[in-house]
A and B are shown apart, each in its own frame.
Chain A
Amino acid sequence: MRAVTQVYEGGFSDAVFNSQKVFRALMDAMASPGRAIEIGNLAAAPSPISSVAASVAATLFDHDATVWCDKSITSSAAAIGWLKFHTGLELTSNPSDAQFALIGDLETMPSLESFAKGTSEYPDRSTTIILQIDGFNGPEELTLSGPGIKGTQGFAPSQLPKMFVDQWAANRGAFPRGIDLVFAGKGALAALPRTTRISKKEA
């Protein structure tokens, strides 16, 4: 029963210190948008969940967190079983109800508009989307500015959601409402809080 052992294995080897390490990476990433922060491979979940995405899930998800997973993840019983066993998360089928979203396939992901942006009185009641990508050496470099960034910061994720720059401008325009992004690459993560402005690098 390989699928069964897959579900129970691969959690943090030290729940207290590994989650502290991953949280500090997430905190540094949110406080320094676009900067890739190494965390290594602390957790191992069944395909298609990557090690870094699994580490972020194990750090932030629990029974108080509603999570929307895309089809690439929900179609794997082992992947969903791992998330349930290791985090106790509350799954939702509605992205606009989700505190977190886990995206395995950026090609087919819903628009940012589909997720929770919070209310004007509670803008924190919004979705943090975790996007699985290959890494941070993509072909196109975006130029970031805003809180957390001294001057500008280059950001070149290997994949991006469709029409991302336009979608992000709309998200930025809704501030203080908005969604926040965590990019889970190989061995490292980066974040884009809703405050970040994007301009494509000038040729």
Chain B
Amino acid sequence: MIESHSQLATYNFAYLDEQTKRMIRRAILKAIAIPGYQVPFASREMPMPYGWGTGGVQVTAAVIGPNDTLKVIDQGADDTTNAVSIRAFFQKVSNVQVTTKTTEATIIQTRHRIPETALQAGQTLVYQVPIPEPLRFLEPRETETRKMHALEEYGLMHVKLYEDIARHGRIATTYAYPVKVEGRYVMDPSPTPKFDNPKMHQSPALQLFGAGREKRIYAIPPYTEVVSLDFEDHPFEIQTFSEPCALCGAKGSYLDEVILDDKGGSMFVCSDTDFCEDRQAEGHRGHLSANPAQAAVNPAEAAE
């Protein structure tokens, strides 16, 4: 967990010392210059465990300044423990403005989702990445995966996807679905649902990826080609949902299943809470929105 305010108070702006920031900043500039390539960096200990997104936190800390407005999301939501803790951390160590509104943020740190609202030029999306190497499950040795990237040896990756087709009749990979960036590097988009892959392509926003435990930073500049790997006879497809959001009626947003009772009752609602709340505020209604506040605010209680 995160250390107390009094312990943090003696640290530099944005927690990291200036030399660490310089090292991370140099890595970020190289990452932008070589889209999709994983730049090694000397990851620092942060006052939170690795699973909490220390890579993303270090990238944000090296980038953030007093004029920024920060949004932090976890699985699309601003109010989960992980998102709340990271947001509170940056409020303490950098005193920046924070927001839950996608449109107001200059920096959005994310675990596992890209906001539904289209990002704009000048915004930076920082991903918390657990495993940056898309070839790792094929080849555990770093020296070998590095060679494979150097030689553009991506045949094994295609074989793995094709095995899915042989087994399931389709590509079954739904998270961390590999992409090719600007026709060169195969890249892991982090465990976002493949639903979000098309949002990475030609995005006006800068996308930065930080993996703390694995000590890698990579990037997709704005207006860059990002293509999900696929086959001519089995083209890439995103998930579709059979019904609209139960609260805001949105069609075409990414939905999470929320359990309503112990008899198997459930509803599907937008995983992007800011997007869903905005739509409800605009008067959009879903089929369960008669009592949206109770269901949305405390689904666990509703399940009892």
B223 touches A16 (CB 8 A): no
A20 within 8 A of B: yes
| Chain B neighbourhood of A17, CB < 8 A | 13, 65-66
| Chain A neighbourhood of B257, CB < 8 A | none
B33 touches A59 (CB 8 A): no
How far is B13's CA from A130's CA once the two chains are assembled, in angstroms?
A: 27
The smallest beta-carbon distance between A52 and chain B, in angstroms, is 16
B37 touches A176 (CB 8 A): yes
B32 touches A24 (CB 8 A): no
A70 within 8 A of B: no
B25 touches A60 (CB 8 A): yes
| Chain A neighbourhood of B185, CB < 8 A | 176
Most buried by A among B28, B32, B35, B223: B32
CB contacts under 8 Å to A, within B193-248, are 204, 206, 221-225
CB contacts under 8 Å to B, within A12-34, are 15-17, 19-21, 23-24, 26-27, 30-32
Contact of B29 among A15, A123, A128, A148 (CB under 8 A): A128
Contact of B34 among A20, A26, A64, A124 (CB under 8 A): A124
A148 touches B224 (CB 8 A): yes
A75 within 8 A of B: no
B45 within 8 A of A: no
| Chain B neighbourhood of A148, CB < 8 A | 32, 221-224
A50 within 8 A of B: no
> What secondary structure prevails in chain A residues at the interface with B?
loop
A147 touches B182 (CB 8 A): yes
A195 touches B18 (CB 8 A): no
B150 within 8 A of A: yes
CB contacts under 8 Å to B, within A119-147, are 119-124, 126, 128, 147
B35 touches A26 (CB 8 A): no
How far is B22's CA from A60's CA once the two chains are assembled, in angstroms?
A: 6
B150 touches A62 (CB 8 A): no
B156 within 8 A of A: no
How far is B42's CA from A64's CA once the two chains are assembled, in angstroms?
A: 12
Q: How many residues of A contact B (CB 8 A)?
A: 38
B29 touches A180 (CB 8 A): yes
B19 within 8 A of A: yes
How far is B245's CA from A155's CA once the two chains are assembled, in angstroms?
A: 47
A176 touches B184 (CB 8 A): yes
The smallest beta-carbon distance between B119 and chain A, in angstroms, is 13
Residues 54-98 of chain B: 1 if any A CB is under 8 Å from the residue's CB, otherwise 0?
000000001111100000000000000000000000000000000
| Chain B neighbourhood of A119, CB < 8 A | 150
A149 touches B223 (CB 8 A): yes
CB contacts under 8 Å to B, within A82-112, are 99
Residue of B nearest to A124 (CB): B30
B186 within 8 A of A: no
Most buried by A among B30, B151, B185: B30
Contact of B28 among A27, A59, A64 (CB under 8 A): A27
B170 within 8 A of A: no
B174 within 8 A of A: no
B33 touches A30 (CB 8 A): yes
CB contacts under 8 Å to B, within A139-163, are 147-150
14 interchain pairs (CB within 8 A)?
A19-B22, A21-B65, A23-B25, A23-B63, A26-B25, A30-B221, A31-B222, A60-B22, A62-B19, A65-B26, A120-B150, A124-B30, A180-B33, A193-B221
Top 6 nearest A-B pairs (CB, nearest first) are: A193-B33, A120-B150, A148-B221, A124-B30, A147-B224, A147-B221
Residues of A within 8 A of B (CB): 15-17, 19-21, 23-24, 26-27, 30-32, 59-60, 62, 64-65, 99, 119-124, 126, 128, 147-150, 175-176, 178, 180, 193-195
Name 10 extra pairs, CB < 8 A, besides A26-B25, A176-B184. Answer: A20-B13, A20-B65, A64-B19, A119-B150, A122-B40, A148-B221, A150-B204, A175-B184, A176-B37, A178-B33
